Chain A
């Protein structure tokens, strides 16, 4: 699975990690490709149930870093076709539920706030 995902990333270049803040993701890329869902699930329960709001593994952080902009400087939703989340998830045939509730572009106020 790791191999498949890596090949996909190399093949169509959609998994390019476009980082606005740093060249390094919060964890090594290989780890994130395999385990990002566990990391997010853990953080989600910590935040909702216990009010732990560390930034490192927050979904908002993912979106703020990995969203790309179109030619007019507008943010493209991260789950749009060919974008960071969608490209791999379509390939792996795994539905993303996150964005039924979470916004899929950076929030301006949050970008200023964090």
Chain B
């Protein structure tokens, strides 16, 4: 059954793909896409470890571009109930009590190398992908929320509401736990996570995403040359998210 709409759909898809190819050819999308994205049929490999470097000096106090992009990308509905609304990324304001110096930073799942959420999960639903991304397999999550309690970064949320019209790339449902997934659906295609793109297009460029295992990647180079730190480094979780300027 081919109707006019579906022909339109094919035309759009063709033009879009042609556009992307043309843009790649002139190198215009290098900032957004990784050069060596894996193909669809390739499994993620442990040769890669995705990580994020946050430059807190560029993170503006009143800006919520990363949070907004995340909510939009994953269709996170807010019900005006801050106690129970889900939150994959949130802005945190810190102030040094003695100097008064203020810092604003985004707080999200830190994608630990040794994640406490995975340790405590009774069903194995909380797991770490080979490329270091910590995820919840909602097919096996029973909603016990042990992981919510175990995470020292308060990064996990529980879905309390019935949901409809979720994003097709981000299935979510009542009774399961969820948290930042580093936008695996985008990263697997060679794109940057939505928060990084949102921060960039807002002009702040405080977030840098890339492969920590690749010594030539921009994030590795920057982490090598500029001082940055993990949050709660005392827990020896070896987080994939690091912060500059703290």
| Chain A residues engaging chain B, CB cutoff 8 angstroms | 18-21, 44, 46, 48-55, 60, 63, 73, 100-103, 105-107, 110-114
Contact = CB atoms under 8 A, between A and B. Distances in A.
Nearest to B17: A113
B43 A51 contact: yes
Contacts of A73: 5
Contacts of B2: 20
Contact of B176 (A46, A52, A101, A112): A101
B168 A53 contact: no
A44 B139 contact: yes
B138 interface: yes
Main SS class of interface, B: loop
B188 A51 contact: yes
A21 B3 CA distance: 10
A109 B172 CA distance: 17
Contacts of A103: 164-168, 171
Interface of B: 1-3, 5-6, 9, 12-13, 16, 38, 40-44, 127, 129-131, 135, 137-139, 163-169, 171-176, 184-185, 188-189
Of B1, B43, B138, most buried by chain A (CB within 10 Å of CB) is: B1
Given A53-B188, A102-B171, A48 B131 contact: no
Nearest to B1: A18
Q: Is the interface of A mostly helix, strand, loop or mixed?
A: loop
Most chain B C-beta atoms within 10 Å of own C-beta, residue among A18, A48, A106, A114: A48
A50 B44 CA distance: 6
A37 to B, nearest CB: 13
Contacts of B167: 103, 107
A48 B135 contact: yes
A109 to B, nearest CB: 8
Nearest to B166: A103
A28 to B, nearest CB: 19
Nearest to B162: A100
Contacts of A102: 166, 168, 171
A103 B44 CA distance: 25
Nearest to B139: A44
A48 B149 CA distance: 23
Given A49-B137, A101-B172, A113 B188 contact: no
Contacts of A113: 13, 16
Nearest to A73: B5
A114 B3 CA distance: 18
